[in-house]
Structure 1
Amino acid sequence: MLSTAGQSTYRLLLRLKGTPGIVLGALVLSSLSVTVQTGIGFDPSYWLMWGAEITSGKLVTAHAWTSWKPLPMPFMVVFSLFGSAAPSLWMIVARAGTLVATALAFRITWRLILDMLPADPKQLRAQVPALLGGCVAAAGLLRLLLGWSMTGYSEGLAIALMLAGVECMLKGRHKPALFFYLAACLGRPEPLLAVMAYSVWLWRREPGLRKWMLGGPLLVLATWLIPEWIGSGDPFRAGKLGKVEHLHQTQPGDSNPLIVISGAFTALPAATAAFLPASLVAVIWAAKRGDRKPLLLSAIGIAWAVMVALQVAFAASQTTHPGVLRYMIPAQAFLLLVIGVGAGSGTFLIGRGLERIGLDPRVSAGALATIGVVGLTASMSVSILPKYEVMQDGQRVVWRATRQLDRAISRAGGPGTVRRCLPIANYPRWDATIAWKVGVTLRAFGRRGSPQDPLSRADFGRGTTFRLTGRLASGKNTPYSPAAVAPGATLASMAAPWYIFQRCSTKRHKKK
């Protein structure tokens, strides 16, 4: 018999089965991932800055090169209380979100396959196809989200919330499904259209949820618009960012919605896209058997792709909000679930064919499992691992630049000295990080006043300029000429690759 301590541990492990265990495991793995050199991305650096501003009661979103996003902000506000650990804490959450999304994709696909196959779910002939199909969906989603999660974007967390809603919806648990969908809308506003359609379907079935069907979308819109209104005076500032020429991220052909829709499929990992024909057959097969869940997920994915395509096409023709194709990731997530179902169904049919020619069911299941494991391993080695290595190389560069920025500020006399020599010349990629480390808002950065952006070769008036040298700064190996960067200014400090130039009346600190 187990001891008292052993029984307590066993009961704890039982409680951690399922979703709690997935979340805990994801947090452990993501915590380990930040023990190596990690650098936060462009948009997350602004969220980090805004979190610190909210805790100090002075939110300023004006002049930011990205828009307000509600989903990460509760985390950022709390993490800002932990000082320099805030970026790592957020990276743990962002990466854990991707891992949870990957696990949910596996679990949803696995259950869909078991429900549709004409076999006992406990038998190997059903379990092996379900496991392989789940792995195909999970691996494809991990490949899509890997780059975003490694740099701290919230796509993984939003997809995890969305898939949690899908799982609850497929089980008939509509109340938590609605809440998960509303939470996912804090990452992107477009899902509100899907939530409204879902609410119309639920209206007569779940009258107790009507207050949330009506109030939930309004609350989500408020979290998007009110903070932006407070921070910039314009609740619709995000929609105007696309009018800035260099932020317009559409590509040639984006004005054609059909080209953009095709991109939702061509951008899928090649190893998973190969199962698209099988997924079409699986959807038809399941529908004929009375299981319309794969058909529903296919319809949602295609409808989402059409919605994003129209948004991108409008952006390309009207120069409004930029149509970034990462908005297609939710559509691709739905499609990957169906692709996983197709892979599992195809595996089942192959296994049944092997049995008909006289092969033992256990032998055929073992052969299919072996082929599947080898195929998935090869796919990861040629798709996921190279992507990880490329992203990790970039992480090391950003990590070193961020660490050296701290040293450069310290050698210039510290944040207080920089704050006495304002404004700071804007430097879009690093504005938010500099503001967070110096302890100012973006109002302290020069835009049209003095100093001008030094890259324009304009005269340097009063203020401070931060600049990087080398490829990270400009995409070229040639460093900036100090005379061109800040004419007439004094080099306040240097911590390669950072240079800080100042021209002001404050007392200079001796450079170390």
Structure 2
Amino acid sequence: MAASPAHRARHRPVAAALRAHPYLALGAASLAGGVLSVAVLPLGIGSDAWAWLVWGRELLGGGLDPTNGPSWKPLPVVFTTPLALLGEAAPILWTVVARGGALLALIFAYRIGVRLSGRLAGAFAVLALVLTDLVDYAASADSEPLVTALCLWALERHLDGRRGHALALLALAALGRPETWLLLIPYAGFVWVREPRLRYAAGAVLVVPPALWLGPTWLATGDPFSAGERANRLTAASLATADVPALAVVAETVRLVALPVLGAALVAAGAAVAVALGGRGSRGAALTTAVGRRARTGFRSPVAHVGALILAVTATLWVAVVAGLTEVSFTGNERYLFPAVAAICVLGGVGAGVIVRAVAGGRGGARAVAATLVLLAIAAPFGVERARDVVGVRGEARDRARIIAGVEPAVARVGGRVGILACGGPAVTRPGTQGTLAWELGLPLSAVERSWPPDPRLDLRPPTVVFSRAERRFNLVARREILAPRLVPVPLGPRLEGWQVFVVGAGGEAARAAVARCRPPA
């Protein structure tokens, strides 16, 4: 049925506002997608996100304890602090924001690909990015996809000539990953020189991000670099443990993007360089000029190659910085590489577009279709394997969601926060659940002891209430694998929702006395 004139009149202002502010429409669409994702992808929030939620709640209450958990990161806390006003809804709402950021990254990957080399390039860029760890990070409510979206948005605004917008977006991205500073600092210098009216803004973005990275931890702990010290703590997955960490970072980057995408990205970068050099008309450059003319047909506009060069330089610098830091004992987590991986994926999409347009002479037709099919055939073996990994993310998120859902009834079983604190301080032995329990109990992260491999034993000040994975041979596992020999575990009740809760004491009588104080509900 056709809409009535009155209905159309009511919605006309909204449609006009969205047309006048297209980025508002993109943001709204991304958040709507984030809401939809909660219904499709289980709420498997990762350990870092729980820490950001706890810190946001603490800041709202006028305090902050960043001495435990992951290293301090300002960008997500900018969101989780106001979201804490909504209480128990905050985890879901942060998940909506984080997953909306992932969708926004896909949107800008497509837009930049289309801008540089046509719709095919945009489609290839999106496909390449989806087949990375993007879905996994989105499922865990990590912030790297949001950082990536801000960086790609900044590139689009720069290409539009809106340098002030690009500067602000890079400054926001710099709150999520310190590697972004290698883009922000030179770009602020560029804006300072080229846009005198923006000099105050250029100066501000060199002060505000470092202040938000260092200031809160300085005020809370007296050490502005405490977050960096935690970022240097090696784990089994750290690339810094490799024989040659810098080479391990490069190899990991290649693995994350897949060889066909990297090959297409190199084609795009080479074509962009050829166009740039071919336009100079330097002496003895007849061949370069000819190659440049041919390469130019792969781009949509005479200046589109500039965007490809920016992507190539950004990805190269980012990987080089992470490799260098990892070589000097920075942990080298693969998440640190994700914005560079995304830039390579977009560049790979552009490379695919350049190849097809160059083969087809800048036009469509049978040759363009044939070139597209050849590219798909080359990428298919890699794509199928990656697609299996992406599909498997849902199962992993479902497992995390089940663990998270079990925390509340497990806490209630032992009398809630009051009952647990009456027994002793809480502890967890399940990886990634420290923040979950801290959020549920309304405690800082430092108030929840944690222990898991590679150092699984708890060295507690008994009595302590320990939340552990439910095991059939619980006491044996608890004694031999979790607790120091002097500690004795006493279960507080039956296994519940995959959790086993017990209290430990320095001897059987002390543990039983602590259990008596708990008095969990029947």
Same-fold call, TM > 0.5? yes
Aligned pairs for 1:82-481 (under 5 A) are: 82-113=86-117, 130-144=118-132, 145-242=134-231, 244-246=233-235, 249-251=238-240, 253=242, 255=244, 257-287=246-276, 288-289=278-279, 291=303, 292-293=305-306, 294-315=308-329, 321-352=330-361, 367=369, 371=373, 382-383=384-385, 385-425=387-427, 427=429, 429-446=432-449, 455-456=456-457, 461-469=462-470, 481=476
Structure 1 456/252 Cα, relative in aligned 2: closer, same or farther at 3 Å?
closer
Secondary structure in 2 matching 1:352: coil
In the alignment, residue 26 of structure 1 is paired with which amino acid?
Answer: S
- Aligned partner of 1:119 in structure 2 is none
Shift of 1:274: 4.1
- The answer to whether the 8 A contact 2:125-2:345 is kept is yes
| Amino acid corresponding to residue 312 of structure 2 in structure 1 | S
Assess if the C-alpha contact under 8 Å between 1:426 and 1:446 holds in 2: yes
Q: Identity of counterpart residues, as a percentage?
A: 28
- Superposition RMSD on alpha carbons, in Å? 3.2
What TM-score does the superposition give when structure 1 sets the normalisation length?
0.83
Return closer, same or farther for 1:505/1:272 CA change in 2, 3 Å cut-off.
closer
Decide which of 53, 58, 69 is 1:48's aligned counterpart. Answer: 53
Instruction: Give structure 1 stretches of 5+ with no counterpart.
Output: 114-129, 316-320, 356-360, 471-476
Aligned position for 2:492: 492
- Give how far 1:219 is off: 0.9
Report how far residue 165 of structure 1 moved: 0.8
With over 3 angstroms needed to count, the CA separation of the structure-2 counterparts of 1:456 and 1:374, relative to structure 1, is closer
Contact between 1:23 and 1:100, CA under 8 Å: does it hold in 2?
Answer: yes
Say if 1:94 and 1:153, in contact at 8 Å, map to a contact too. Answer: yes
Q: What secondary structure, in the 3-state scheme, does the structure 1 residue paired with 2:187 have?
A: helix
Closer, same or farther in 2 for the Cα pair 1:56/1:375, shift >3 Å? Answer: farther
Q: Is the 8 A contact 1:425 1:463 kept in 2?
A: yes
The CA distance in 1 between the partners of 2:349 and 2:478, in whole Å, is 58
TM-fit CA distance, 1:369: 9.6
Structure 2 CA distance for aligned equivalents of residues 478 and 134 of structure 1? 54
TM-score, normalised to structure 2, is: 0.81
Residue-by-residue CA offset, 1:202-242 (whole Å, 9 max, x unaligned): 22211121112222121111111111123333221122125
Which piece of structure 1 moves more, 156-165 or 426-435?
426-435
The alpha-carbon deviation at position 102 of structure 1 amounts to 0.8
- Given that residues 454 and 460 in structure 1 are in contact (C-alpha distance below 8 angstroms), is that contact kept between their aligned partners in structure 2? no
SS at structure 1 position matched to 2:488: coil
2:188 and 2:460 map into 1 onto residues whose CA distance is 58
Q: Report the 3-state secondary structure (helix = DSSP H, G, I; strand = E; otherwise coil) of the residue aligned with 1:343.
A: helix
Question: CA, structure 1 residues 231+430, in 2 after alignment: closer, same or farther (shift >3 Å)?
Answer: farther
Deviation digits for residues 420-441 of structure 1 (CA, Å, limit 9, x no counterpart): 2332235452211111111222
Per-residue CA deviation, residues 445-501 of structure 1 (Å, 9 max, x unaligned), is 3589xxxx995376872121111135xxxxxx9756366156534322331421111
Between 1:26-35 and 1:96-105, the stretch displaced more is 26-35
Q: Please tell me whether the aligned partners of residues 102 and 138 of structure 1 are also in contact (alpha carbons under 8 angstroms).
A: yes
Conserved? CA contact 1:101–1:160, under 8 Å: yes
Does the CA contact (< 8 Å) of 2:426 and 2:449 recur in 1?
A: yes
Q: Secondary structure at the match of 2:467?
A: strand
Q: 1:67 maps to which residue?
A: 71
Give the aligned partner of residue 517 of structure 2.
507
Number of aligned positions between the proteins:
473
